[in-house]
Amino acid sequence: MIPGNWLQLLTCFILCLIVSHVALVSNSVSADEPALAAVKVLVAYHSLSGNTERMAEAVGEGAKSLPGTTVVLKRVGQVTADDLFSSDAIVIGSPVYWSNMSGEVKTFFDNWQFKFGVFPEFKMKNKIGAAFATGGQVSSGKEVTMLTILAAMLGNQMIVVSGGGAFGASATTEGDSPGVDKKELADAQALGRRVAEVAAMLRSPPAN
């Protein structure tokens, strides 16, 4: 025969066990928010006067806003083979030079072969890719710049995504423009966030 106060204590203990178990299960897998894989996003850019660098930082902030995401932010010339191959997603930014990506960014892409030997195995295959650009004038090559970056990624059998704008995030920096503004930085953040989300979805096990 168990005395009354011991019975109360035992009941209380069992109830606590049940409640903590339910809390643990509902925390780890929520019906609304399936657990996403942690991903690594490389943000690589060229920038002489700082505009594209500011956009790159905002892309990185947006990617980091997805919990579990690691961001590596580097100038294109400093990217190593390990940076490239260990990333789940790569976002590349360029200033517009003569209505296209700058020579440094093009050289970076060429080095994927010359330095990193991506072909013929297609070592970048199925990584997520995205682009951003800054240009002095409103309509003088930002979209061509982003599209040529995306074209190089497609040639590497990457999966390209947009965000912030139709082809990526961009900013106008000269003339009547006040420079990279809040809206353009918000677009860059939106691009970074979407890249991280799509990469995480691709790397996560399928829901039951």
Question: Which residues, 159 to 198, sit near ligand FMN by CB under 6 A?
Answer: 173-174
Cβ nearer to ligand FMN, comparing 156 with 172: 172
97 binds ligand FMN (CB under 6 A): yes
Mark the segment that binds ligand FMN (CB under 6 A) among 15-23, 50-58, 66-74, 196-204.
Answer: 50-58
CB atoms within 10 A of CB 143: 19
107 binds ligand FMN (CB under 6 A): no
- Cα separation, 93 vs 74, in Å, equals 11
Residues ≥6 apart with Cβ < 8 Å to 143:
166, 167, 170
Least separation in angstroms between CB 109 and ligand FMN: 18
Taking the C-alpha atoms of residue 23 and residue 9, their distance in angstroms, rounded to an integer, is: 21
> In sequence order, what are the residues at sequence separation of 6 or more whose Cβ sits closer than 8 angstroms to the Cβ of residue 82?
none
Strands 89-97 and 100-101: antiparallel
CA dihedral of 188, 63, 35, 166, whole degrees rounded to 10: 30
CB of residue 192 to ligand FMN, shortest distance in Å: 17
**Candidate segments 9-17, 135-143, 156-164, 196-204, binder of ligand FMN by CB under 6 A:** 135-143
Distance CA 194, CA 102 (A): 25
Q: Which is nearer to ligand FMN, 143 or 197 (CB)?
A: 143
Q: Report the residue number, 94 or 189, with the smaller CB distance to ligand FMN.
A: 94
Which one-letter amino acid corresponds to residue 75?
R
Among 60, 62, 135, 165, binds ligand FMN (CB under 6 A): 135
Please identify which residue in 111, 137, 162, 177 interacts with ligand FMN, judged by CB under 6 A: 137
Q: How far is the CB of 131 from ligand FMN (least distance, A)?
A: 14
| Per-residue binder mask for ligand FMN (CB under 6 A), 4-43, x = binder | ----------------------------------------
CA angle (16, 20, 26) in 5-degree steps: 145
Q: Are 134 and 170 in contact (CB under 8 A)?
A: yes
Residues that bind ligand FMN (CB under 6 A): 47-53, 95-99, 134-137, 140-141, 173-174
